Amino acid sequence: MTKAVADRAFEPLFTTKRSSLAVGLGLSQVLAFCEVSGGTAVIISTPGEGTTVQLYLPRFIEQQLPPQVGSPTERPSPGTASRHVLLVEDNHEVAAALQAVLESMGHTATHVASSDDALVFLQSGARYDLVLSDIQMPGKTNGIDLAEWVKQNRPHQTIALMTGYADELDRARRTGVPIFAKPFDSNELVALLA
């Protein structure tokens, strides 16, 4: 890759293909997965020699605690209790990465691929600790429409939006809900799930 291409390779929808049907290199999803997991990704490329994409992920070291005979089973504190998240994301790879991160935090996630589907769940009376929705999705409604519906019809429901597009931020900010710019660090979700 040339330096100009490598500098843009992680951008959503960036492609080097000339076809109007090109949907991007997919590297934005790779970077999003890494950053949501607490790491990052780096491109090292020299034209005519090759390209390397290095993924940096945090190491997990399981802590072994000695068993305590006769001690009562501890219940998680309110800040660490499992939460149920409605994950609204049309990109299945991004959704899978977010779902894996949420589950690694001890939470459960129900994934739907559009805000139209999310509205069906919410209108049926389903309850969630957090609705985490992408903004731009196929269908009649988008994530901002979903946030506006939630604010009007479920004022006690916590909802947050996420987007990779800066042009959506102005309207999204008017909803008054937290907004995550993709890719974002998983630690940003901790406060919403505490």
How confident is the model over 29-42, as pLDDT tens digits?
A: 777 777 777 778 88
Residues 113-125, mean pLDDT to the nearest whole number: 93
> What SS3 string covers the chain?
CCHHHHHHCCCCCCCCCCCCCCCCCCHHHHHHHHHHCCCEEEEEEECCCEEEEEEECCCCCCCCCCCCCCCCCCCCCCCCCCCEEEEECCCHHHHHHHHHHHHHCCCEEEEECCHHHHHHHHHCCCCCCEEEEECCCCCCCCHHHHHHHHHHHCCCCCEEEEECCHHHHHHHHCCCCCEEECCCCCHHHHHHHC
Residues 102-127, mean pLDDT to the nearest whole number: 91
CATH topology of domain 84-193: Rossmann fold (3.40.50)
Mean pLDDT of the chain: 79
Q: What is the pLDDT of residue 21?
A: 54
- What is the tens place of the pLDDT at every residue in 145-154? 999 999 999 9
Q: What is the pLDDT of residue 72?
A: 38
The residue ranges of every structural domain in the chain are: 3-56, 84-193
Q: What is the pLDDT of residue 76?
A: 38
Model confidence band, residue 119 (pLDDT cutoffs 50, 70, 90):
very high
Q: What is the pLDDT of residue 131?
A: 96
pTM of the entire structure? Answer: 0.59
Output 6 or 184, whichever has higher pLDDT. Answer: 6
